[in-house]
Amino acid sequence: MKKGVNKDKPKGTDYNILKAIKKTKRFAEVNEAARRTDKKRINSEARKEKEEKQAKIDSAKKLTMVGYKKGYILVEIEGKIEKRKPFYPKLTFTKDNYKTHVGDIAIKLYGNHIRIREVLGYENILNELLFEIEGTL
């Protein structure tokens, strides 16, 4: 008997079919592994961007609002007082709803729109803001 001959292994066309099936399974496993690693990379990039954006938002929330003057909200940034234009929500302010929605007004800090109720010092200038908004209605 010759060495290396296996009697259980299929011969001829059956062997070629079996070999092709094994090859397709191997390719499928390789492609699946590549897809998983690609998904991991994409998810890590998205997570990193999200963390950077959240860090900017957190640093913006640590700033303090000083006051309201001539249609601008005054914000103290690194020891300097800067003016920021308020961005009003899409709903229209009326005499009935302006007191409840004044916190939804946003200002742009570090490239992101931040609601003023989330920034420090909101309680201090709330009455001033309400008075100014009521005057324009």
What residue spans define the domains of the chain? 10-55, 62-136
Segment 46-60, tens digit of pLDDT: 999 999 988 888 888
Element spanning 16, H or E: helix 13-61
- The stretch 116-122 carries a mean pLDDT of 83
Does the pLDDT at position 1 exceed 70? no
Q: What is the pTM of this model?
A: 0.60
Q: Phi-psi category of 102—alpha, beta or left, where left has phi over 0 and alpha has psi -120 to 50?
A: alpha
Residue 137 has a pLDDT of 66
Q: Contact at 8 Å (CB) between 113 and 106? A: yes
